[in-house]
Structure 1
């Protein structure tokens, strides 16, 4: 049996380390997938681990599933769509999707990528209606995070993330990072 000389072993290791580093870089590129909307004029970075899925209804531009936190039986749902109506009317409609609020609604305004963004957090028992004609099912202990992106030229875009509170809490930083990654092209 032939032995590998120490010099050959060192050369093999020296070529393996850069190759492994390239694999890691490739993985990082996959984590930075961009979500494009507003006819390609707006984009955000999709968080790692969030899965793009076919929107359940045609008015939704982008939909994602977020893995359930340990102990939660339901995944989080993220939707992004352009729509009309005032900021207040949409927030009131979202509040109406809760049978009971267990915490006061939090609403604040920020400027991100030179666009006004209204950030909303609602907590309580949620009427989950999976389609326009589907019956609503009340889900206790839900949270909704939302961002309303207002643009002068492209209209308003509504990003909603809702699901069991533990799942939302576990992913709140990822949601906020996605919103803050907003770019106008």
Structure 2
């Protein structure tokens, strides 16, 4: 009698063991996986724009922009162009030794020299009694126009959105074909005073390769 009871108990135990996988693993085919979903990959960091965190490159040495070769002074930093600048600006520089507010851009633009000089004049509100300083400088045998403006600088809502007083700009126009070449140095007046000698040396180092 005892043996029979043991056999029945053993059968129930075996049956329970067989049913365990179904109790925990069986179900509809739409059961959710217990594996965590993969973490989305972050987008690659953009290193080609012109934001405040963009890397700067030491720029000293001979460099060529739009067929013109320049001797870049030691200490100048070349700043990567933003998406909005590409296609309009050929190169952008900072001159830290003169001050954080000094910027130099190089570009090749159509429309004629006088029209672009007039556009620069329109960006400045000069103090009473002050006039633009314009002169001619020979660069590698070519006459270039040097335009010096001082006052309140307003590039319009598309760029800064606010006028800045106490500013200065030295713009240089080099006649070229099919598009003229421009150098535009901007910044606070006292900082531009420090940058002016190196900028003029940079300009006179130009050699036309094309």
Residue 90 of structure 1: aligned partner: 116
* Paired residue secondary structure (2:202): helix
Higher relative contact order (CA 8 A, sep 6+): 1
**Separation in 2, partners of 1:183, 1:134:** 31
TM-score by length of 2: 0.63
TM-score by length of 1: 0.71
Root mean square deviation, CA, Å: 2.2
Contact between 1:99 and 1:138, CA under 8 Å: does it hold in 2?
no
Return the match for 1:136 from 161, 165, 178: 161
Higher helix share: 1
Residue 104 of structure 1: aligned partner: 131
The structure with more radius of gyration: 2
**Separation in 1, partners of 2:75, 2:63:** 14
Residue 153 of structure 2: aligned partner: 126
Higher strand share: 1
* Paired residue secondary structure (2:191): helix
**Separation in 2, partners of 1:135, 1:51:** 22
Return the match for 2:65 from 37, 61, 68: 37
Q: Does 1:150 align with 2:175?
A: yes
* Paired residue secondary structure (1:179): helix
Number of aligned residue pairs: 148
CA displacement at 1:47 relative to structure 2? 2.0
Unaligned residue ranges in structure 1 (runs of 5+):
1-29
Residue 182 of structure 1: aligned partner: 206
